[in-house]
């Protein structure tokens, strides 16, 4: 088992691992996705285990069901959103790195920046998502999950 920082959610049938610098909006994005009916698996620390060429992620026991939101505190997800807002584990299908230090004039407009990140010996597909306070991060993450599920996310060649 490997431990990785981030927030793991189940969105439209896709296990999304949100990564990024502290303060990039991972927990805020997770909170908005919970409000939209998706499920939290883990916040802050994700335990990842490998089965063949797939990864499964879950929360450590001491953090299960909790979401820490800066300025709000520790949120008990089941109390706020109901027990269906939690999921014990999920396959890690896609990593999404929230990028805050972005040169917007040079960021590709027509294709997502995607590559892979190694986790527990598996190359996990990753999308780099530029974020700012004005962008609807939850909606963008839903679109990324839907495109991944449909197989259309990686059709464009896009590597930095």
Span 10-49, pLDDT tens digits: 999 999 999 999 989 999 999 999 999 999 999 999 999 9
Residue 158 belongs to a domain: no
Report the CATH number that the domain containing residue 142 is assigned in CATH.
Answer: 3.40.50.300
Rounded to two decimals, what is the model's pTM? 0.93
Residue 155 is predicted with a pLDDT of 58
Residue 156 belongs to a domain: no
Q: Which domain holds residue 125?
A: 2-150
Residue 157 is predicted with a pLDDT of 46
Residue 115 is predicted with a pLDDT of 94
DSSP 16-31: EEEEESTTSSHHHHHH
Cα atoms in the 13 Å half-sphere on the side-chain side of 80: 19
Residue 120 is predicted with a pLDDT of 93
How many domains does the chain contain in total?
Answer: 1
Residue 159 belongs to a domain: no
- Least confident span in 2-16, 25-39, 111-125: 111-125
Burial 38-73 (b: 16+ CB within 10 A, else e): bbbbbbeebbbeeeeeebbbbbeeebbbbbeeeeee
Q: How far apart are CA 21 and CA 25, in angstroms?
A: 9
Task: Please state, for a pLDDT cut of 70, what percent of the chain lies above it.
Answer: 96
- Least confident span in 26-40, 57-71, 102-116, 144-158: 144-158
- 61 has pLDDT over 60: yes
Residue 158 is predicted with a pLDDT of 45
Give 110 or 98, the one with higher predicted confidence: 98
Residue 157 belongs to a domain: no
- 160 has pLDDT over 50: no
**CA 105 to mean position of chain CA atoms:** 25
Q: How far apart are CA 132 and CA 118, in angstroms?
A: 27
- Least confident span in 20-29, 101-110, 113-122: 101-110
Residue 86 belongs to a domain: yes
Residue 144 belongs to a domain: yes
Residue 7 belongs to a domain: yes
| Residues facing residue 112 across a β-bridge | none
Q: How far apart are CA 47 and CA 44, in angstroms?
A: 10
Residues 15 and 92: beta-carbon distance below 8 Å? yes
Residue 155 belongs to a domain: no
Total number of residues shown for the chain: 160
- Tell me the mean pLDDT in the region 128-152: 94
């Amino acid at each position: 088992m490997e431990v990785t920082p981030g927030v793991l959610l189940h969105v439209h049938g896709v296990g999304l691992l949100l990564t990024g610098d502290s303060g990039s909006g991972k927990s805020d994005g997770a909170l908005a996705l919970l409000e939209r009916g998706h499920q939290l698996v883990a916040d802050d620390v994700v335990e990842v285990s490998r089965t063949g060429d797939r990864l499964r992620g879950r929360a450590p026991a001491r953090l299960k069901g909790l979401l820490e939101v800066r300025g709000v505190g520790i949120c008990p997800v089941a109390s706020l959103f109901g027990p269906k807002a939690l999921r014990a584990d999920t396959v890690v299908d896609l990593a999404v790195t929230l990028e805050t230090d972005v040169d917007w004039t040079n960021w590709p407009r027509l294709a997502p920046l995607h590559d892979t990140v190694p986790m527990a010996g598996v190359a996990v597909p990753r999308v780099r998502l530029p974020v700012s306070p004005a962008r609807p991060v939850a909606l963008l993450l839903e679109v990324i999950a839907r495109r991944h599920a449909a197989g259309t996310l990686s059709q464009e060649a896009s590597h930095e």
